[in-house]
Structure formats: C-alpha cells, structure tokens
Homo-oligomer: A and B are copies of this chain.
C-alpha cells in the first residue's frame, strides 16, 4: 500500500522547509534594510544557532519519539463452500438478449428434448421450433444443441 503521507513528508516537506528558511532569511534581510537596525554578525550568528538547534531538535526527536503505529488491515479470505444453492447468472443471461421463446427452447434442450418433443410440449410446429433454436444458436454463438447446453451451463443461465 502506498503511503502518501510519507511521500509528501519525505520530499516535498523538506523542500518546503528549505524554501521557508530561505524566505525567512530574505524577510530578515528586508526587515534589516527597512529599519536600518543593522548588525550583520548577529544575524548570521542567530541563523547558525537556528540551523544548529533545528538539527539538534530533529536528532533528539528521532532518538526519543516513539514510532508512530499505522494499522494496516489485511483481509484474509476464508473460503466457505456453499452447498447446492444454484442461482441463475442474470447478467450473463441479459447479455445474450434471448427472447422468451428462445430461452424456453434452451431449457427444454438441456432436458434432452428433441425438436419434435419440444413442438409437442409447447404445441408448436417442428418448423417453429427449428426457427427458434436456430436463432438461439446464432445469439449464443454455437453450432449445435450440445454446445448450447454446455455453454448455458458454463454461463449458469440454466439449472
């Protein structure tokens, strides 16, 4: 996991700090100019003191400050075998955009019905059954009823 905070503090922070120091120096210089209260030696001295004690502060802190604790939550996947409960994959089913008759054909196909069986069951002519099944195959991109059954089961669109 990327720690944005570290990146921020690791590089930009230091740059920012340096810049602020530079600005401070210039600000002091400007103030010095403006108020003509001049004591260059003192400014340099104070600046060195500042830098030194800043570094000292950092060093002291790194030696004494307790390390921060960041909690990283890791999800461990526990697999639970769910017995039997079959659910139709509605997403996959909608993708195919089958008509109701076509889906009906598919269900009966999977039951092992022949074309004439289906016709007799749904009171349709053999021609009609063939037409529906042919269209079904086109939509499912298969070439035979057995392929249709295999694919339908794989996609979980029939039980």
| Cβ contact within 8 Å between A146 and B109 | yes
Closest B-chain residue to A29, C-beta based?
B31
- Residue-wise, chain A 1-37 has the 8 Å CB interface mask toward B (1 for contact) of 0011110111001101100110111011101110111
Additional 5 contacts, C-beta under 8 A, given A25-B27, A72-B72, A81-B82: A21-B23, A53-B53, A61-B61, A74-B74, A114-B143
Interchain Cβ contacts under 8 Å between A and B, 10 examples: A3-B5, A14-B16, A17-B60, A21-B24, A24-B25, A28-B46, A56-B57, A58-B65, A74-B76, A112-B146
Q: Which residues of A contact B (CB under 8 A)?
A: 3-6, 8-10, 13-14, 16-17, 20-21, 23-25, 27-29, 31-33, 35-37, 39, 42, 45-46, 49-86, 109-114, 142-151
